[in-house]
Amino acid sequence: MSHRVLDVTAYTTFDYLQGGASGLDWDEDGIVVLNVESDEEEGVVRLSTELDPTDVQRLDQHADHVELFPDQARTLASTLREAADRVEEEVDDE
C-alpha cells in the first residue's frame, strides 16, 4: 500500500513546504506536508509532518507527529511568531 500517511486536502495546514530529513552522516531534501489538528478526545493539539515518499529513498514511508497540550501549543505559537519577527527584521536591516 502506498497512500500518503497524512491526508492532504484543502483543509491541510500546509500542503507544500521545503524540508528534509537528516541522519548522523546523511541529509536529504524533500517537500513536506504539515498539518495541525486538535484532538478533543485526547485534549491535545497534534502537529504532524510527512516528507513526500518519492523524495527520500532512504526512509520507509512514514509521518512524524508531536502532541502538544494547549499551553504548549500556545508557547510554540508565540515562539514561532517571535522567530518570524526576527527573520523579517533581519531582512529589513539588510
22 binds another protein (CB under 8 A): no
Q: Based on CB atoms, which residue is closest to another protein, 2 or 78?
A: 2
The answer to whether the CB of 68 falls within 8 A of the CB of 47 is: yes
Q: Are 47 and 65 in contact (CB under 8 A)?
A: yes
Q: Which of 32, 67, 75, 71 is nearest to 46 (CA)?
A: 67
Residue from 28, 34, 49, 55 binding another protein (CB under 8 A): 55
Rounded least distance, CB 7 to another protein, Å: 5
Residue 24 touches another protein, criterion: CB under 8 A:
no
